[in-house]
Amino acid sequence: MFIWFLALSFVLVALVFDSPALDYRMVLLGSVLPVVELLAGGPWALHTLLAPLVVLMLVMLATGGRRLARRRWLGLPIGLFLYLALDGAWLRTELFWWPAWGVRVDSSDVPDFKPAALMIALELIGVAVGAWAVRRYGLADRERLRLFCTQGRLDRTQMGDSRPRWR
C-alpha cells in the first residue's frame, strides 16, 4: 500500500487545514516514510507514536521565529501521524506505544500484511481519491502542477474558501 497513504494523506490535510501555503510535499513524504522502514526489515521507531512526536518537537524547536520554515516542515510530522492512522498502527499496542513497555520490538509486532484483495482494494481507493484530488485542486493545469511540484503549495483559488483570511 503506497498510493493509499499518499492520496488519503494529501486529501485529508488539504480538506482539514484548507491551507494553500502548507508544503504538501512534506506531508506526502511523512505519509510514506514508515513504508521504507518496513522494506528495511520490519517496523521500529517510525511505527510508534514517539517518532512523529519527536519530529514535531524538533521542527518546533528548529524553526522558532521562522514562520515560513515552520510551515514547510510541519507537514513531515503531520504525514507521520497520518501514516499511523491510515495503517492501523495503533492496533499493535506494544509497538505503537514503544518504548513504554520495554525497548525490545517483538517479532509479533511486525505488521501482518492484509489479504491481497484488501490491499488491492485500498490501493484502488487511493487511486480514486488521488484522481478526485487532481480534479478538485486543478493539478491537471500545468501552472498549478508546477506550483505544487516546486513549492509544495496549492493554488489559493482551488481551496475551499478562496477569500484572504487576514487583512
Q: Dump pLDDT digits (tens) for 69-109.
A: 998 999 999 999 999 999 888 877 777 777 776 666 555 44
* pLDDT tens readout for residues 97-152: 777 766 665 554 455 556 888 889 999 999 999 999 999 999 999 999 999 999 99
- Quote the CA–CA distance of 88 and 78 in Å, as a whole number: 16
Q: What is the DSSP letter of 161?
A: -
- pLDDT score for 20: 82
| 102: number of Cβ within 10 Å | 9
Radius of gyration over alpha carbons of the chain, in Å? 17
Cell of 111: 505488521
